[in-house]
Amino acid sequence: MSDKKNTFYVTAPIYYPSGDPHLGHAYCSIAADVIARYKRLLGFDVMLLTGTDEHGQKIENMANKEGVIPEEYVDGMSQKFKDLWKVLDISYDKFIRTTDSYHKESVGKIFTKLYEKGDIYKSYYKGLYCEPCEAFFTKTKAKVDCLCPDCGRELKYTEEEAYFFKLSKYADKILKLYEENPLFVRPASCFNEMKKFVEAGLEDICVSRTTFSWGVKVPFDKKHVVYVWIDALSNYITALGYENAKSKEELSNFYKFWPADVHFVGKEIMRFHAIIWVAILIALDLPLPKCIFGHGWLLFKDGTKMSKSKGNVISPLDLINKYAVSADAVRYFLLREFPFGNDGNFSFDSFVNRINSDLANDLGNLVSRTTSMILKYKSDGVLNLENLLLGIDEKELISTVSKAKNTYQNLLDSFKFSESLSAIWSVVLQANRYIEKVTPWKLYSSKNIEKLDTVLYILCELIRCVAVLLIPFIPTTSEKIFSQIGISSKGLKTFSSAKVYDSENLVKYKICREKEILFPRIDLKSVD
């Protein structure tokens, strides 16, 4: 395997396309995208994977309900996810579909390999089944009144021949992994839940079905369809060429990127990843991912979870169209408003307030005021300085940016998105206070031009640094900011360049006269 010193592999879940993509899907994918862009900013060779999980009884039933074949149904649904990711600027490197031929080839080989090793055996399943979750449960795991412990809906008794994976065999190894690496599962709440689940005892799990046909056929027993645990979870390695590469060159991505640095998943599927996926990898003698991170749920004020199965979902496109905002505004809101790993309460009021306060008032106002002053006080809109009059206030700003940058990096390395944005905003807020304190308009009226130039230059430097740090979060807006202050050089958009005032390399700023408002305020009176 590669030493992975200069590579980073991050995955979002492959989503089940039984309904249109919604805000919850976007939340996880944006988080994965931010980490991918952040690592690219640091110079890493990054692989960002996402996709759709397209097999199973529910998909087959939904296709039948709509009067189309499953292939036609999933083609249309998968495209909806791709279309939304394009709108939200998700910079994935690969989009995998479990109906892709190369993936199906790998799944068949993985199933066979586990069977030949003795980790899969044929038996007969008798028990409780949740069709919406496509999951089996014992009576001890089910809620009272025979309800699904995940979605709360009624479980149905079912009997069928099936192949089983010896999950129970790997309980001790999984517990040892948790004990030796408590950061393997994050956040701590998910770690504690997974540890208790394993300690309570693991049972072998059903990994094939015979009651429907939409899926990958078991190679040596065609009446069986490979079940979701092996089919869907294997995507993280099949996308890299595992068991489907036709040459060493095709397999290079697997050696280059595996094991994954982080799997981002919703906490409701943490058990499948932190237990079942881990056991499958151990059985295959493959390295384990470095971290599995379970994010929280988006809840409404009454505590109801946003869920397509409950019919209460909100589309990111609804927010973009309803409030006439950019995709960057949605990206920012989701990762600033809700601490990643915790549940968060969503409301339209919080969305409006966050956009108007943080983006329009704070960031947008800082950029607008600064560029407007330069155009007003410098006839050509150019700042090309040789000497700066740095006082206490300017040195304090320079120090603030440096500290915020270090804080930002430490927080993003720990997937603390909201806190890292807060670190950037501490700079934005201090810059706005700096303007009020030094009053550039008074410097101009008193003809203190040298000090005025220093103030305007420091503000431009600060804005450029903020724009660099915001590239992972709001990439389109960052580019707009660079354009407004006349920065085109890639060298001035790098993470290492994000420092205010380099006396050896003073930057030339030329303000664009044709500039749009970055984040127009949302006027609730104009919103239906």
Q: What is the pLDDT of residues 294-310, one digit of tens each?
A: 999 988 876 777 766 66
What's the confidence (pLDDT) of residue 3? 52
d(CA 171, CA 194): 11
What's the confidence (pLDDT) of residue 80? 97
What's the confidence (pLDDT) of residue 374? 96
* Residue 158 and residue 211 in contact, taking contact as beta carbons nearer than 8 Å: yes
What's the confidence (pLDDT) of residue 1? 45
What's the confidence (pLDDT) of residue 2? 45
What's the confidence (pLDDT) of residue 129? 80
Among 265, 259, 256, residue whose Cα is nearest residue 282? 259
What's the confidence (pLDDT) of residue 4? 61
What are the b/e assignments for 298-334, b being 16+ CB within 10 Å?
A: bbeeeeebbbbeeeebbbbbebbeebebbbbbbbbbb
Degrees to nearest 5, angle at CA 52 with 272 and 237: 60
Degrees to nearest 5, angle at CA 435 with 434 and 441: 145
pLDDT digits (tens, 9 = 90+) for 142-187: 766 688 876 777 888 888 899 999 999 999 999 999 999 999 999 9
* Residue 521 and residue 495 in contact, taking contact as beta carbons nearer than 8 Å: no
Q: At 290, which amino acid appears?
A: K
d(CA 284, CA 470): 40
Domains of the chain by start residue, with CATH: 7-314 (3.40.50.620), 356-526 (1.10.730.10)
The low-confidence residues of the chain, meaning pLDDT below 70, are 1-4, 138-141, 143-145, 150, 302, 307-311, 528
In percent, the amount of the chain with pLDDT more than 70 equals 96
